[in-house]
Each structure stands twice: as C-alpha cells, then as structure tokens.
Amino acid sequence: MRKEGRLTRWIGWTVVAALLLLSFIIGWFAKPTCPNTPNDTASGKYLREFLDEMRPEQIREHLRKFTRLPHLAGTEQNLKYAEQIMKEWKEYGLDSVEMVPYDVLLSYPNKTQPNYISIIDQLGSEVFNTSLAEPVPEGYEDVSNIVPPYSAFSPKGQPEGDLVYVNYGRTEDFFQLERDMRVNATGRIVIVRYGKIFRGNKVKNAMLAGAKGIIMFSDPADYWAAGVQPYPDGWNLPGGGAQRGNVLNLNGAGDPLTPGYPAKEYTYRLSLEDGVGLPKIPVHPIGFHDAINLLKNMGGPIPPNNWKGALNISYRIGPGFTDDFKSQKLRMNIHSNNQITRIYNVIGRIRGALEPDRYVILGGHRDAWVFGGIDPMSGAAVVHETVRSAGRLISKGWRPRRTLIFASWDAEEFGLQGSTEWAEDNAKLLQERAVAYINADSAIEGMYTLRVDCTPSLHTLVYDLTKQIASPEEGEEGVSLYESWHKRDNWTDNRDAPRISKLGSGSDFEAYFIRLGIAAGRARYTKNKKTERYSSYPVYHSVYETFEVVEKFYDPSFKRLRAVAQVRGGLIFQLADSQLLPLDVNQYADALGKYAQSIAQLGHRHPEEMNTYRVSFDSLFSAVENFTVAASDFHERLQTLNKADPLQLRIVNDQLMYLERAFIDPLGLPGRPFY
C-alpha cells in the first residue's frame, strides 16, 4: 500500500510536472513570434511551381498573338497591343496594371514622299534608284503599315556628291581612310557596312569627318551564316532586306527634347535644334542587292582585306566612280519627319507582402520595327508567360515578400525612350527602393546556348538558378541548363563556370543600371560566338523578323524560350521573395579586381605615355583592396545574421540593395551626364 501509494503519488507528480512543462511549451508557442519571419522553404516550393508552370505552347501562343501586325512605336496598333497586354495581365491576376503615356520625339518616313538613294548622271537624271521597300514575306502580303527601311531621326535632305567607302565607319576606319589612304570624306557621301559598333556612332563619325550624308548596308560578311538559306527557306537576310534603326547619340538621355525629365505635358521641351543626339546629316540604310549597285563601279584605291566584305566586288574606296562612270554622282533623297508622339508603357504590379516598398522589376519593350518576331516579341512573350505563371501562384495564396513590377516599354527602338522616361518619372522612388532590374528584350538570337550579361553581384544567383532549370536542348534530358551552358561556353582557362559578361548598353536596362545604379541583368539564348561571327542575327530589324523565323528555325519546340523565361522569371522570383537578398558582394569584389587588372595591363602596353602623364593605378588598386576586405567582412557577418530579427534583416538587405548605387557618380561622365 505504502509502496503503491508512493508509486501512485510519484506517477501523479510526474504527470503534473509533464503537464506543467506542456503548458509552458503551449504558452511559448501560443505566443505569436515576430510578424515578419517568413520561410525560405515555402518560397523554394513556390519557385519550383512558378518555373514548372511556364509552358512552351503558351509562349508560342503569346508570340503568335503579338506578331500578326506591325506595331511600330507611336502607331495605333502598338497602342492596341498595349491595351491587350493590360487586359490580359489583369486577367492573369496582377494587383494593378496601368498605362503610362509620354509624349516623346519620334521619327517616321513621309508616306507620300519615299526615301531612296539615286545614282544620277550629269543632267541630274536618276540612272539607278534603291528599292523603296523590302519584298514582303509570304503570308503577310495583305498587311498594311509596314514601314520601309529607314534611319530614324535622319534629317531631311537631298545631298549630292561622290561616294566614299569607309568599312564599318569606326573611328579607326576614318583614321585609316584619311591617314593611310589619303582620302578625305569632307563634303562627300560615305557608305559603310553595318556591324561592329552602334549605327549612331557610325553617323557621328561621318559627321565629324565632314561627310554630307551616310549610307549603311548589310554586307553578307556580317549578316549571312554559311550554309543557311535566306528567309523564308532559312534564317539568313535576303538581298532585298535592310536593317532599320535609330541613328541617335543619346548617351542615355531618353526623349531627345526632355533630357533628365519625364516627357509629360508640363515638361519644358528643348527646341529641335537643341535636341540631344540628333544627327545633322541625312542617313539611309540599304540591303546588299542595292549596295552592289552603288559600290560596283566605285573608283579609287583598293582597300586592305579587312575592309572587304563578302560581295563579289572589289570594295574600292572612292571618292566617286571609276573613269567610265566618272560623271555620275550620288543623291540621297530623305524626307522623314521628326514629330512629338504619344507612347505607352504598360506597368503591372504585385504588391509585396512584407516589404511593399522594395521593387524588383522585369521590363522589356513591346514596340517593333515591323512584326518584331524576335526583337522584341520573343522577349515580350517570355514576360507574358512569366506574368501568367506569377498570377497562378497568386491564386494559390502566394505573395512575394517584395513588390514585383512588370513593364512593357514603348519606343525602345527610338532610343530606349519608354523605359528612360519612366525611370526619369520615378527616379527618386527607384533610387530609394529598387532592388534589381531584369531586362527582357529579344529572348533568342541564336540556337546554341544561354547568354547572361549582369552585374557581378548576380553571378551566384544565376548559377544557382540555372542548376534548377532543365536544358532545352534535344538529347539533354536530365541535364541542367547550367551544365548545358557550361559545356558550351566555359568562362576562361582560369575559371571553371559558364561565362557571364558585363552589362553593356543598347537596351532598356540603361537608365536603371547605368543612370540609377540598380543591380541589373539580362538573359537570352544565343549563337556560338566562336563559329558564328555575324553581328546580332541576320534578319535583325528587317521585315523578315516574323513569328515563322522563330517557329521554323530558332526554337521550333519553344523550349529555348521557356528556358529563358525560367531564367528571367526565376531571377525576379528569388530577388523578390528571398528573405536575404541573393546578391553576392564577394563576386563584386572579385570582378572589380579583374577589371582593375585588365585596365592596368592596357596601361602597361604604353609605358612611355604612362610615364609622361604620370599615370598611376595605385589609388585604383588600393580602392579595390579596401572594397575586397569590406566585402569579405560583410559576407562573414551575414553568416551570423539573426534572420528572425526583421530590422537586422532589413538593414543588411539595404546594404546589399545600395551596393550597386555606390558605383554611380551623380555628376556623370564628362560630357555624358546620364552615364
């Protein structure tokens, strides 16, 4: 009895003690923790769903839908597509979608007075004229509003003169022309081939050389892949095709009449004479069929081999024609108009759950020279699919930690105007709140492998992410995109990882990355740089950039575009939803060290000049060293960060977010205030 009683009591107390402990535990867990301790595991699950939701057939459909009609910036059709995108993004489930207009300077050919180039005889009669339009591809014969090839923002004019051939129109080409070949471009019309540098710079160089006009042509050496048929039987540029494009020198100013400010109704506008980057001499682009006719009878010296393209002519320098055609001259007939035109960005948002005041942006343009089969709609289709997939997640209860912004920019082809005006309109907010900008121009320019250009702090995220995405290549089932990419494009002998390049310029990320200092990146499918040496892709900016060129040649399964969608989408997902921002400061330090070394190496090639001007890289290397130490210390502190403390987390994330801003000088570069 005693024993039993003791045992009973003992058991009783044990039970009571256990109950007390249980109560304590219940009390502990009943109390809510801090409101903002989300869960990276849940986020990882949603990422998988987000990526898996993206479908090749959906991307195909988006692309088909938005490439039926030409939709040049400032035209009714491009507004209609904007309205359609707005409508569909709303249906997909974004919190808000708005249309944001600006009134910017655009340029169009005169509909009643076409642009062309003539060879004229002594009497001024036209003995040859370049074509007024490209032959329309099959299936699009009834389409109206195809703008003929032109150089946007060319001034009007009908200059006459002798022709001078200046290779690619680079600074070194004009130097060689004048110094070695002793040919002067002043007062003449220069003809250059497309490629190597931005066409606006060719025009600037021609102006500086005193030319009175400039013609640009697509040489098969630069726009023709061996063994490939011209469109529609292959993806090469037909001889009648020509590359449209703007010929501005904006240096990031956006609308030429409102540099630094959004082009709103209340904004002060410069006069046309004072507009930023507008060329002062007529400019016109032609295809290689026309180019043969202009070039074949040229006289003057025969150039070195690296000035010769792939046409069956001798590529003489000029000036003017050979003896037989001495009396013939060239006349450009340019009648384009600059006009202030309304453009429309579409801006959609998913409001962040915990940090609505932090923005992650996925933006790409919608305006196209004609159909935009590749540029930009292969990118726009990818954005569309990303929005659709994000909408599906929203419907399942997901909401990102930070705000996601999706943008369909207008008038990129006229100098990144839509994206730049919006950046100018929202500069303060973006500077204070934008975590990253991912660009979504053309998603494919080749059939070989992935290409990523981004700020160094994103390298690690790109690698991590591509390991979670499948290779789109046939026969690579079970192979990750990372592996597929790595195999095809390893960095260098020193680094065993897929190559990632620096961000350059020339697409809508400029205002975000170069002006505002927001971490940025872009990803697309690309060609094999080692074997395919042509610039961009052959049908670039021609009427032959159709849905079919993608469907038949570049990505019949639409898996490559899906992979690009997964990379772009995965990047914004991780940037918006990770507790700790996935930006790697050590990678930044590493890249800076390499840049510094390559600058110093360039310097060491010119020891005399370095000595004369007393150039030293000591301060540069010292700064890089300081940065490297600070980055490494910071990275170490991250290891012990208490992620459950929302204020600690925010402070560290702010440091990560503002890292990229540190590299922006508000005074800009000399003469280039927006770079």
Instruction: Out of 7, 11, 14, 21, point to the residue binding a copy of itself (CB under 8 A).
Output: 21
Cα(first)–Cα(last) distance of the chain, in Å? 93
Of 632, 639, 619, nearest to 588 by C-alpha is 632
Among positions 245-274, residues that touch a copy of itself (CB under 8 A) are 260, 266
Work out whether 614 is an interface residue with a copy of itself (CB under 8 A).
no
Burial class (CB in 10 A: 0-12, 13-18, 19+), 209: buried
Burial class (CB in 10 A: 0-12, 13-18, 19+), 499: middle
Contact region with a copy of itself (CB under 8 A), list: 30-38, 162-170, 470-478, 571-579: 30-38
Work out whether 666 is an interface residue with a copy of itself (CB under 8 A).
yes
Work out whether 24 is an interface residue with a copy of itself (CB under 8 A).
yes
Cα 509 from Cα 363, distance rounded (Å): 8
Contact region with a copy of itself (CB under 8 A), list: 1-9, 32-40, 273-281, 408-416: 32-40
- Closer to a copy of itself by Cβ: residue 499 or 643: 643
Contact region with a copy of itself (CB under 8 A), list: 105-113, 192-200, 531-539, 639-647: 639-647
Contact 542/70 with Cβ under 8 angstroms? Answer: no
What six digits make up the tokens of 225?
């892949």
Work out whether 530 is an interface residue with a copy of itself (CB under 8 A).
no
Instruction: Out of 11, 16, 208, 272, point to the residue binding a copy of itself (CB under 8 A).
Output: 16
| Per-residue burial over 569-588, b = 16 or more CB atoms within 10 Å of its CB, e = otherwise | bbbbbbbbbbbebbbbbbbb
Of 90, 70, 64, 73, nearest to 409 by C-alpha is 73
To the nearest whole angstrom, how small is the minimum distance from the Cβ of residue 626 to a copy of itself?
A: 12
Residue 527 — φ and ψ, nearest 5°? -85, 175
- Closer to a copy of itself by Cβ: residue 35 or 475: 35
Instruction: Out of 3, 396, 428, 530, point to the residue binding a copy of itself (CB under 8 A).
Output: 428
Helix runs in 467-584, H state only = 481-488, 510, 547-548, 559-577
Work out whether 157 is an interface residue with a copy of itself (CB under 8 A).
no
Work out whether 476 is an interface residue with a copy of itself (CB under 8 A).
no
Instruction: Out of 427, 591, 596, 641, point to the residue binding a copy of itself (CB under 8 A).
Output: 427
Work out whether 643 is an interface residue with a copy of itself (CB under 8 A).
no
Work out whether 355 is an interface residue with a copy of itself (CB under 8 A).
yes
Burial class (CB in 10 A: 0-12, 13-18, 19+), 629: exposed
Cα 25 from Cα 325, distance rounded (Å): 99
Residue 399 — φ and ψ, nearest 5°? -150, 130
Work out whether 354 is an interface residue with a copy of itself (CB under 8 A).
yes
What six digits make up the tokens of 150?
């032109």
Instruction: Out of 6, 7, 9, 19, point to the residue binding a copy of itself (CB under 8 A).
Output: 19
To the nearest whole angstrom, how small is the minimum distance from the Cβ of residue 440 to a copy of itself?
A: 27
Contact region with a copy of itself (CB under 8 A), list: 159-167, 184-192, 587-595, 652-660: 652-660
How many Å separate Cα 208 from the centre of its chain?
28
Instruction: Out of 1, 4, 5, 34, point to the residue binding a copy of itself (CB under 8 A).
Output: 34
Residue bearing tokens 């002060």: 268
Cα 534 from Cα 203, distance rounded (Å): 21
Residue 470 — φ and ψ, nearest 5°? -80, 145
Instruction: Out of 2, 3, 4, 35, point to the residue binding a copy of itself (CB under 8 A).
Output: 35
x/- string (CB under 8 A) for a copy of itself, residues 431-450? -x------------------
Instruction: Out of 26, 272, 302, 629, point to the residue binding a copy of itself (CB under 8 A).
Output: 26
Residue 321 CB-half CA count within 13 A: 19
Work out whether 357 is an interface residue with a copy of itself (CB under 8 A).
yes
- Given strand 449-454, what is the order of strands in its sheet? 96-108, 337-350, 402-409, 355-365, 434-439, 520-526, 449-454
To the nearest whole angstrom, how small is the minimum distance from the Cβ of residue 637 to a copy of itself?
A: 13
- Closer to a copy of itself by Cβ: residue 198 or 675: 675
Contact region with a copy of itself (CB under 8 A), list: 188-196, 201-209, 425-433, 457-465: 425-433
- Closer to a copy of itself by Cβ: residue 311 or 649: 649
Q: What is the 3-state secondary structure (H, E, C) of 288-312?
A: HHHHHHHHCCECCCCCCHHHCCCCC
Beta-carbon count within 10 A of 626 CB: 11
Work out whether 630 is an interface residue with a copy of itself (CB under 8 A).
no
Query: Rg of the chain's alpha carbons, rounded to an integer?
Result: 29
Strand partners, 363: 407, 439
What six digits make up the tokens of 639?
């290891």
Work out whether 658 is an interface residue with a copy of itself (CB under 8 A).
yes
Work out whether 11 is an interface residue with a copy of itself (CB under 8 A).
no
Contact region with a copy of itself (CB under 8 A), list: 199-207, 232-240, 351-359, 435-443: 351-359
Work out whether 27 is an interface residue with a copy of itself (CB under 8 A).
yes
Residues binding a copy of itself (CB under 8 A): 16, 19-31, 33-36, 260, 266, 354-357, 427-428, 432, 619, 645-647, 650-651, 654-655, 658, 661-662, 666-667, 673
